Amino acid sequence: MPDCVKPIIGYVYSVAVVTALVQAAVSCVAPAQMAATATTFTVRVLVRVGDRLEFMGSGFLVSRNRKALAVTNAHVIEKALQKHGPAAQLYVRFTPPLNDNPATLSAMDRIYDVALLGTGIPFEGTRLSVSEPRPGDRVSIVGFSESNLAADLPRTLPGEVIRVAWHDRIGRRKLSDLEPPNVASWARTFLVRTSSECEPGASGSPVFDAIGQVVGYLVGRNEDDGTCIVYSAQRLREILSAMP
């Protein structure tokens, strides 16, 4: 048991207390392991412009049929295509070893602001959480930004989930704590408070829990309070399960 968790030996604990102690122990030892996992699975999304590659946003790798798919925001891809035309060639830069791989759009959901890019690269890894975080849970947003394009490794931004809500992507882009009667245009959302702001270019960054599972992905910043808007990985799991 880590030093940060010191139960009193000899006492009989309830199941709830034991569970809390285990969770606390995981939160103490996980950060270094989680950071290594996050670095391996976090990528840059790029578009070719002449003889150079232009940074568009962040993303992360998931596996489908033992091939790497890069997950990013739909608005990142739409921005690239609007700026450079529908024939623009997309690329994914793995981290490490900083290889640039051509990518093709495999799936996209505008409501959940998620896009999947096929790379054809053999890959197995990245665990998607089957449960949603709760207020008070500690998470880490791992990605790149426009302010630090020269960095080889992504930035890790620790944070805390402070609210679980629904985000209206189509209407007034408002937040609701109650499940709407028609969820077709609403995305399951977590607001995360971090020590510094989510920067431009971080869109599409994976959000990891304390044991290195992806619980969601960054889509933007809440202008009302400066928190980071994170969408649940639930819809991503559904898209992956429906793909051939």
Q: Tens digits of per-residue pLDDT, 116-133?
A: 999 999 988 788 998 889
- Scanning the structure block, which residue is given the tokens 């009667």? 181
CATH numbers and ranges of domains, the chain: 42-122 (2.40.10.10), 138-242 (2.40.10.10)
Considering the entire predicted model, what is its pTM?
Answer: 0.82
* Whole-number CA gyration radius for the chain: 19
Instruction: Find the range with the poorest average confidence among 27-36, 55-64, 134-143, 144-153.
Output: 27-36
Beta carbons within 8 Å of 185's beta carbon, 6+ residues apart: 111, 168, 169, 170, 171
What is residue 185's three-state secondary structure? Answer: helix
- pLDDT at 98 > cutoff 60: yes
The CA distance from 205 to 134, in Å, is 19
CB-CB contact of 103 with 65 (8 Å): no
Determine the Cα–Cα distance for residues 195 and 238; give it in Å rounded to an integer: 32
pLDDT digits (tens, 9 = 90+) for 157-208: 999 999 999 888 765 567 888 887 777 778 889 999 998 888 889 999 999 9
Residue 35: strand, helix, or coil: helix
- Residue 205 CA to residue 218 CA, distance in Å, equals 5
- The pLDDT of residue 8 is above 60: no
Q: Write out the H or E segment, with its range, that includes residue 41.
A: helix 15-41
Residue 144 has pLDDT above 80, yes or no: yes
Element housing 138 (H / E): strand 138-143
Residue 138 pLDDT more than 90?
yes
Average confidence score pLDDT of the chain: 82
CB 199 within 8 A of CB 243: no
Contacts of 153 (CB under 8 A, 6+ apart): 39, 95
The pair of structure tokens assigned to 210 is 């304390």
Lowest mean pLDDT among 25-34, 92-101, 179-188, 207-216: 25-34
pLDDT by residue (tens digit) across 50-94? 888 999 999 999 999 999 999 999 999 999 999 998 888 999 998
One-letter amino acid identity for 11?
Y
What pLDDT does 50 receive? 86
Q: In this predicted model, which residue has the larger pLDDT, 216 or 184?
A: 216
More confident residue, 95 or 123: 123
Q: Per 3-state DSSP, what percentage of the chain is helix, strand, and coil (rounded to 5)?
A: 20, 40, 40
